[in-house]
C-alpha cells in the first residue's frame, strides 16, 4: 500500500505527503518505574450507533472507552478521569461522568498499580439557577459524596458556577475551605485558564493571574494537609514555575501546560524543596502522545534528561497545533489521534464535537504526528486519512 496522500494546506493548495520510513516510538518495558507522577486526562469514545440527538444527548461506547484507559495504565500513566479532555461540560453530563468514574474505578481494581483520580465539579447545576456561593458548595458536596462513595480520589475542578457568582477572593476561599475540610483524602486542585474555558475568566477572584495565584496559594496554605497538588493550565511556564516554588512542603505542582511540558517536567532543580524544582504532570496531550510520554518519563527516571527532550521535542509542535486557539476545541485533535492510530473504530465525538476543527487543521495534525513518530500503524492511518479526505471532497 502506498503511504502517500494529497493533504490540503492553509493556502488552498493540495500537497503530497509521504509518511517517513521510521519505526514508531519504542516504549519502555512494562513495569518501568517513573520518578514523576504522570496523569493523562483521558478522552471518551462516543457510541456513533446510538439513536440519540448527538448535540443534546450523550452516548458512550463503554468498552472502547475503558480499553483506552487500560492502554494508558499499561504505559505507566495514571488516568485523570472525567476531566475536560473527556468533554466534561462540552457534551459529557454529570450522570454520564459519574458512570464513567464508576466504570474506570472498577477497571482500575484489576490493574496492579493503576493510578486514577476523578473530576469533581459543579456542572450538574443549571447556570441560570445558581445565585449564591452556598449553591456552589452544595453542588461540590453532592459530587464529592458520590465519587468518594465509589472509593475515588478527587480532582476538585474549577467551577463555572463559582466564577459566575463569586464577588471576591473571599468567596473562593470560603468554598474551597469548606470542600477541602470535608475531603476524605488529599485532593488535586484544578486551575484552568480561560483559554480552555472562557466561562472561567477571573477565577480565584482576579483577572490578573498573579493576584489569582495569591488567592490559590492562600487556600492551599490554609489546607495543605488536604491538598496533594494543584494542576494549573495557563500555558505560561513562568507563572507555573513561580507558583511551584511557593507551594508548601508535600504539595505537588501538576503541570497542565500543553505547550511547555517537557521543560517543566524535567525541572530546573531550583527552590528550597525538591518539588519546587520540577513539575509532575496532569496533561490532556498525554492522551494523544502516550507512547512518547512513556519513553520520555522512562528516560528521565534513568537520569537521561537529554533523551527526554529528544523524545518530547518533536511532540511539542503537534501539541501546540492540537491546542491552538480556540483552545477548548483541542479534544477533537485528541480523538482524531486515537482514531488514526486504531484505538477506536470511528472519528465521532460526544456532542458532535468532531466538527470543531477543519480538514486543513486535521491534515496538518497528520503531518505533525508523522514527524513526531506517533503514527503507530502507518497503513491503517493512511487508509483512514484517505477516507476522511474523500468525505471532504479531496482525492487521496
Do the domain assignments include residue 294?
Answer: yes
Contact 349, 336 (CB under 8 A): no
Question: Is 393 domain-assigned?
Answer: no
Q: Rounded to the nearest 10 degrees, what angle do helices 62-74 and 94-108 cross at?
A: 50
Provide the grid cell at 36.
Answer: 514523576
pLDDT less than 50: residues of the chain: none
**pLDDT score for 395:** 84
**190 three-class SS:** strand
Q: Where are the alpha helices (DSSP H) in 193-236?
A: 209-222
How far apart CA 42 and CA 310 sit, in angstroms, is 25
Let me know if residue 161 belongs to a domain: yes
| Residue pLDDT, tens place only, 273-331 | 999 999 999 999 999 999 999 999 999 999 999 999 999 999 999 999 999 999 999 99
DSSP state of 56: T
Name the domain count of the chain: 1
Question: What gap in Å lies between CA 288 and CA 303, rounded to an integer?
Answer: 25
Residue 110 placed within a domain: yes
- Domain of residue 186 covers 30-341
Backbone dihedral angles phi then psi of residue 255, each to the nearest 5 degrees: -65, 135
Phi, psi of 41 (to 5 degrees): -75, 115
Q: Residue 362 falls within a domain, yes or no? A: no
C-alpha cell at 167: 464577588
CATH code (residue 222): 3.20.20.70
Asked if the structure places residue 76 within a domain, the reply is yes
Q: What is the per-residue pLDDT for 128?
A: 85
User: What does the pLDDT read at residue 22?
Assistant: 81
Please check whether residue 6 is in contact with residue 14, taking contact to mean a CB–CB distance below 8 angstroms: yes
Residue 123: the pLDDT is: 96
> What SS3 state is found at 92?
strand
**Closest-CA residue to 376 (of 295, 282, 273, 283):** 295
**278: closest CA among 22, 37, 10, 2?**
37
CA distance 85 to 231: 14
Inside any domain, residue 22: no
**Would you state the pLDDT for residue 67?**
98
Beta strand 14-18 with 4-8: parallel, antiparallel or unpaired? antiparallel
- Whether 240 and 229 have beta carbons less than 8 Å apart is answered as no
The alpha carbon of residue 136 and the mean position of all alpha carbons in its chain are separated, in whole angstroms, by 24
Task: Supply the pTM of this predicted model.
Answer: 0.96
Q: Is residue 173 in some structural domain?
A: yes
Amino acid at each position: 500500500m502506498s503511504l502517500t496522500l494529497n493533504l490540503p494546506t492553509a493556502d488552498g493548495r493540495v500537497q503530497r505527503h509521504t509518511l517517513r520510513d521510521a519505526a514508531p516510538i519504542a516504549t519502555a518495558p512494562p513495569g518501568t518505574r517513573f520518578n514523576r507522577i504522570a496523569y493523562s486526562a483521558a478522552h471518551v469514545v462516543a457510541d456513533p450507533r446510538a439513536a440519540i440527538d448527538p448535540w443534546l444527548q450523550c452516548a458512550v461506547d463503554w468498552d472502547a472507552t475503558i480499553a483506552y484507559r487500560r492502554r494508558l495504565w499499561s504505559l505507566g500513566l495514571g488516568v485523570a478521569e472525567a476531566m475536560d479532555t473527556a468533554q466534561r461540560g462540552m457534551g459529557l453530563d454529570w450522570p454520564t461522568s459519574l458512570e464513567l468514574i464508576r466504570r474506570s474505578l472498577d477497571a482500575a481494581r484489576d490493574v496492579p498499580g493503576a493510578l486514577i483520580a476523578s473530576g469533581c465539579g459543579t456542572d450538574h447545576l443549571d447556570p441560570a439557577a445558581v445565585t449564591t456561593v452556598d449553591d456552589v458548595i452544595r453542588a461540590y458536596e453532592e459530587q464529592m459524596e458520590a465519587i468518594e462513595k465509589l472509593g475515588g480520589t478527587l480532582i476538585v475542578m474549577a467551577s463555572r458556577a463559582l466564577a459566575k457568582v463569586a464577588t471576591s477572593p473571599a468567596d473562593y476561599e470560603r468554598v474551597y475551605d469548606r470542600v477541602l475540610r470535608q475531603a476524605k483524602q488529599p485532593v488535586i486542585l484544578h486551575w484552568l485558564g480561560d483559554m480552555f474555558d472562557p466561562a472561567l475568566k477571573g477565577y480565584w477572584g482576579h483577572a490578573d493571574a498573579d493576584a489569582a495565584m495569591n488567592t490559590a496559594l492562600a487556600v492551599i496554605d490554609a489546607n495543605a494537609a488536604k491538598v496533594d497538588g494543584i494542576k494549573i493550565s495557563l500555558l505560561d511556564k513562568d507563572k507555573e514555575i513561580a507558583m511551584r516554588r511557593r507551594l508548601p512542603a508535600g504539595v505537588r505542582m501538576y503541570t497542565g501546560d500543553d505547550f511547555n511540558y517537557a521543560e517543566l517536567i524535567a525541572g530546573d532543580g531550583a527552590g528550597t524543596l525538591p518539588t519546587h524544582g520540577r513539575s509532575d504532570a496532569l496533561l490532556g496531550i498525554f492522551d494523544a502522545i502516550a507512547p512518547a510520554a512513556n519513553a520520555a518519563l522512562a528516560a528521565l527516571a534513568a537520569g537521561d534528561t537529554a533523551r527526554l527532550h529528544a523524545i518530547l521535542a518533536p511532540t511539542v509542535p503537534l501539541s501546540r497545533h492540537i491546542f491552538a486557539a480556540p483552545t477548548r476545541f483541542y479534544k477533537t485533535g485528541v480523538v482524531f489521534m486515537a482514531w488514526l492510530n486504531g484505538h477506536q473504530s470511528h472519528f465521532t465525538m460526544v456532542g458532535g464535537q468532531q466538527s470543531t476543527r477543519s480538514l486543513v487543521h486535521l491534515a496538518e495534525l497528520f503531518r505533525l504526528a508523522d514527524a513526531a513518530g506517533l503514527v503507530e500503524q502507518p497503513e491503517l492511518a493512511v487508509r483512514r486519512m484517505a477516507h476522511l479526505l474523500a468525505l471532504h471532497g479531496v482525492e487521496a
